[in-house]
Structure 1
Amino acid sequence: MEVLDLARWQFGITTVYHFLMVPLTIGLSVLVAGMQTAWVRTGDARYYRMTRFWGKLLLVNFAMGVVTGIVQEFQFGMNWSAYSRFVGDVFGAPLAMEGLVAFFVESTFLGLWIFGWDRLPKRVHLACAWAFSLATVASAYFILAANSWMQHPVGAEFVDGKPTMNSIWAVLTNSTALAAIPHTIAGSFAVAAAFLVGIASWHLWRKRHSDDEDRPLWRTSVKLGAWAGAVSFAVLAVTGDIQGKLMFEQQPMKMAAAEALCHTEQPASFSIIAVGDVADADCESVKTFNVPALLSFLAHSDFSTEVKGIDQLVDEYQERYGTHYPDDPALGELAGQPVDYVPSLPVTYWGFRIMIGFGALGAAIGMAALWLTRGGRIPESRWFPRMTLAGIALPFIANSAGWIFTEMGRQPFVVVPNPTGVDGLWMYTATAVSDLTTGEVWTSLIALTSIYAVLAAVEVFLIVRYVRGGVSAALPPGDDGSGEDRDPDDKRGSGDALAFAY
């Protein structure tokens, strides 16, 4: 494998792994802050115990997310130094803002929340919960603004042959970012919702024949998760439609690849599923089950718009951006070779459908769990906990498939040309990689993947341990779970804050 392929595999593995933690942290932090708000307002011990239990799982995941996220920015310098030099003046600002928010606001208020139980007034402690949870959302905003600039570069001009930012406001209010942010946040709530439904349903089923004092807690968690999942999917549908219309304008090749639309159609049909090998860019052997004119509607809100196919777009891209890579030895075997403007069709076509299908199925399982547990019912069959626990994985897979589609659909560009932007403000992925040997990239790829595998095992062990332990495992020693303030002279559990925080 060439350095370019290895570097892309490394970035893909570490980024997708890191993003498994990110949506759960974002969604669950806001839901936990909501649980604590309900406790402070009502004094109901059920919400206190919910805050403690789900907060414990949140912190385990949060810690792993921080550890795995640090590598992401280092990789820009490790494997993508040419890219870093090209985009550094623009990329630096939103990444610096994210760092300030993440490492100052998030860490400060998260620390106060962890160590502030029985030390801070209830409302001050609650404010800390909202501060760090909203800071996580703000942190995601800046990261998505940076990523959206790669998808649709704005707010920059060329100075001495390099992109230089001339408007941070344009970067932060990029139309691509404004569509991606609510879509990503809704996806995060979908992940957290499935997490609540799966674990709470398992606890309900597990204690179905016993008089478990936490049964109301688990029922409330199922309801919260199911409704959060349903609302999230509705938001995902609306924001996804907005993203589709932007994609039609900004990245027409990605839209064509998502549909394996090899020939221009007017009106264009939406492919439900394909039969055949979509990897072949001429698509002659592929048969699809279509909804007539729906793709035209998704692209432009009418049923008559022309949607360009891959064959026509390849000609346009070659005319505008060139037919061959530069004859530069640094490009290895790609030096002077023709540019393939068609992304991997199997990845884009099936990734798009996995994203939609698994997201919908995850929301449906949540609503099914809500229906099956109505009126105090608890299904006896083993398929119930198996269904809801399996449902936890579905939004994770949908989120990952969505990001893989987003990133691989813009190939061969790492910075996609803006059709209405500055001429020349784009970059091929092949020209973005560092001048490394295959041995060097293999070494870091194997090392990081191995470390991430160990971290995955640690996270799964801790999550499973505290899920099985229930609420009692999340409460510090000396806490009876009532939510009442303990006697200040009672020091039991006062040294166990770090055990709660990990």
Structure 2
Amino acid sequence: MEALDLARWQFGITTVYHYFFVPVTIGLSLLVALMQTQWMRTRDTRWLRLTKFFGKLFTINFALGLVTGIVQEFQFGMNWSDYSRFVGDIFGAPLAIEALLAFFLESTFLGLWIFGWGRIPEKLHAAAIWLVHIGTLLSSYFILAANSFMQNPVGYRVNPETGRAELTDFLAVLTNPVQLVTFPHVITAAYMTGGAFVLAFALWHLWRPGTPRTDAPMYRRAARLGAVVVLLAGAGSAISGDLQGKIMTEVQPMKMAAAEGLYEDVPEGEGAPFSIITVGTLDGREEVWALTVPKLLSYLATGSLDGAVEGIDHIQERYELTYAGAELTAAEDYRPVIPVTYWSFRLMIGLGLAAMGVALAVLWRLRGSATARDDREEDRPVLRHRLWGWAAGSVLFMPLLANSFGWIFTEMGRQPWLVMGLMTTRTGVSPGTTTGEVLTSMVVFTLLYGALAVVEVKLLLRYGRAGAEQVPEDASYDPADRDDDDAFVFTY
């Protein structure tokens, strides 16, 4: 394999791995903030217990996400120096703001929240976790602004003397049409993941034998909250995803055609179908059998059931004419890897719908209050069928993997472009990097990430199985209740 191929594999591995933590951080910070606010409003200690329980799991996830995210910055200089040289003036601006503003907002107020129990006033302490959540939103916005420039370059000019892209309109970068539809889609998907995280742990405690019956109402609340968030966020993700598809068709028609494996143009009036599943050749050019929804692709692409949709072959011909001879963008094949785009698009949608199905089933099962029989049998779980155990174990990974497949589709569907219309991936790799150097760093990072995955899973299982700790019924966590000689210790 060439250095280019290994560099792409390394970036893909580290990016997808890092993104496992991002949506959990965004979604869980909101839910923990809601739980603490509900405790302050009702003074019900069950909400306090849930706040501290999921706050502990949130802190573990945040720490691992921080460690894995640092590597991303180094790769731009190590493996993609020509890319960094070309768009560094533009790409660096939102990333710098993300680090100096959003990340410091997150980390500073997370520290205040972790160590501030009983040290600062309750309202200020609750405000800290809300500011952490706001920080995650700002961080996402600036990072997505940088990525959206790669999908649809705006607010720039290419200096012919230096051969670099220079920023001319930062507001245009922040209000990129791709950015305006991608941000709500990513955030609602993150809320869905956070809701599934809460739902999974609460559902497991309702299912497993050994959970105290007195804790069942508390975990019911958590399960219902998580399920409601999954459903609402899932609906928001579907709506924003529909809008994103129409913008994507305008600026990246090849990506939409590749999502369906559509090679021939579908003219106005016919309506392009959307296949749920297809059996045929791997590249989708020859179809043996397919389960399709008539005219759905036209609606996803244009908003009309009879809208015209360009095919892969026509777009390839148009791109060959458009970019022929361009020094920075010369490429022979402008088609992405069709099997990857086709199946990642469907796995993203399918896993999201499956998570919503589990959430709906949980809400139906937990409707009303506990039965008298449940109250009498102290040693039996609330949800007794083993299918609920499987549901608890799988619902967490459904939106988590849906997020990952969504990013794989977004990035792979842009290929062979690194920056759409300006730079191909092959021209962005570091020219002096050897195959051995990239292979060595890829192996080291992969092994390191594997070790971190073991640490993450062990910590989550350890504290997740322990459940929510007991707190005094009259707990206030007011600074006035603490003695001056109390030790300043980590709350958890």
Contact 1:193 1:228 survives alignment (8 Å) = yes
Counterparts of 1:234 and 1:200 in 2: how far apart (Å)?
A: 22
Counterparts of 2:202 and 2:128 in 1: how far apart (Å)?
A: 26
- The yes-or-no answer on 1:354 pairing with 2:347 is yes
In structure 2, the partner of 1:288 is: 290
In structure 1, the partner of 2:15 is: 15
Contact 2:103 2:139 survives alignment (8 Å) = no
Counterparts of 2:242 and 2:196 in 1: how far apart (Å)?
A: 23
Contact 1:369 1:388 survives alignment (8 Å) = no
In structure 2, the partner of 1:333 is: none
In structure 1, the partner of 2:38 is: 38
- Normalising by structure 1, we get a TM-score of 0.91
> Equivalent of 1:201, from 188, 200, 203?
203
Counterparts of 2:262 and 2:366 in 1: how far apart (Å)?
A: 44
Letter in 2 for 1:456: A
Q: Structure 1 residues 490, 219: CA separation in 2 closer, same or farther (over 3 Å shift)?
A: farther
Structure 2 counterparts to residues 311-322 of structure 1, below 5 A: 311-322=313-324
Counterparts of 1:259 and 1:485 in 2: how far apart (Å)?
A: 55
Q: Structure 1 residues 222, 145: CA separation in 2 closer, same or farther (over 3 Å shift)?
A: same
Q: Structure 1 residues 277, 496: CA separation in 2 closer, same or farther (over 3 Å shift)?
A: farther
User: CA-atom RMSD, angstroms?
Assistant: 1.9
Contact 1:347 1:405 survives alignment (8 Å) = yes
Q: Structure 1 residues 123, 197: CA separation in 2 closer, same or farther (over 3 Å shift)?
A: same
> Equivalent of 2:178, from 176, 179, 194?
176
Structure 2 counterparts to residues 55-94 of structure 1, below 5 A: 55-94=55-94
> Equivalent of 1:408, from 412, 415, 422?
412
Contact 2:280 2:288 survives alignment (8 Å) = yes
Q: CA deviation at 1:158?
A: 1.9
Judge which range, 230-239 or 379-388, deviates more: 379-388
In structure 1, the partner of 2:214 is: 213
Letter in 1 for 2:135: A
In structure 1, the partner of 2:151 is: 151
Q: CA deviation at 1:373?
A: 2.1
In structure 2, the partner of 1:427 is: 423
In structure 2, the partner of 1:340 is: 333
Counterparts of 1:52 and 1:216 in 2: how far apart (Å)?
A: 17
Counterparts of 1:143 and 1:133 in 2: how far apart (Å)?
A: 16
Counterparts of 1:5 and 1:481 in 2: how far apart (Å)?
A: 59
Judge which range, 366-375 or 30-39, deviates more: 366-375
Contact 1:352 1:401 survives alignment (8 Å) = yes
In structure 1, the partner of 2:301 is: 299
Q: CA deviation at 1:112?
A: 0.8
- Normalising by structure 2, we get a TM-score of 0.92
Q: Which runs of 4+ in 1 moved over 4 A?
A: 323-327
Letter in 1 for 2:16: V
In structure 1, the partner of 2:374 is: none
Structure 2 counterparts to residues 92-131 of structure 1, below 5 A: 92-131=92-131
Contact 2:39 2:48 survives alignment (8 Å) = yes
Q: Structure 1 residues 221, 413: CA separation in 2 closer, same or farther (over 3 Å shift)?
A: same
SS at match of 2:414: coil
SS at match of 1:238: helix
Counterparts of 1:191 and 1:346 in 2: how far apart (Å)?
A: 26
Letter in 2 for 1:391: V
Contact 1:325 1:339 survives alignment (8 Å) = no
Q: CA deviation at 1:75?
A: 0.6
In structure 2, the partner of 1:48 is: 48
SS at match of 2:71: helix
Letter in 2 for 1:442: L
- The yes-or-no answer on 1:449 pairing with 2:446 is yes
| Residue deviations 1:115-155 (CA, integer Å, cap 9, x gap) | 11001000011111111111111101100010001000101
SS at match of 1:480: coil
Q: CA deviation at 1:239?
A: 0.5
Q: CA deviation at 1:32?
A: 0.5
In structure 2, the partner of 1:367 is: 360
In structure 2, the partner of 1:332 is: none
Which runs of 5 or more structure 2 residues have no equivalent in the other structure? 372-381
Contact 1:293 1:303 survives alignment (8 Å) = yes
Counterparts of 1:483 and 1:204 in 2: how far apart (Å)?
A: 25
Contact 2:265 2:310 survives alignment (8 Å) = yes
Paired residues in the alignment total 473
Contact 2:328 2:424 survives alignment (8 Å) = no
Percent identity between the two aligned chains: 50
In structure 1, the partner of 2:378 is: none
In structure 2, the partner of 1:25 is: 25
Contact 1:191 1:396 survives alignment (8 Å) = yes
Counterparts of 1:75 and 1:55 in 2: how far apart (Å)?
A: 31
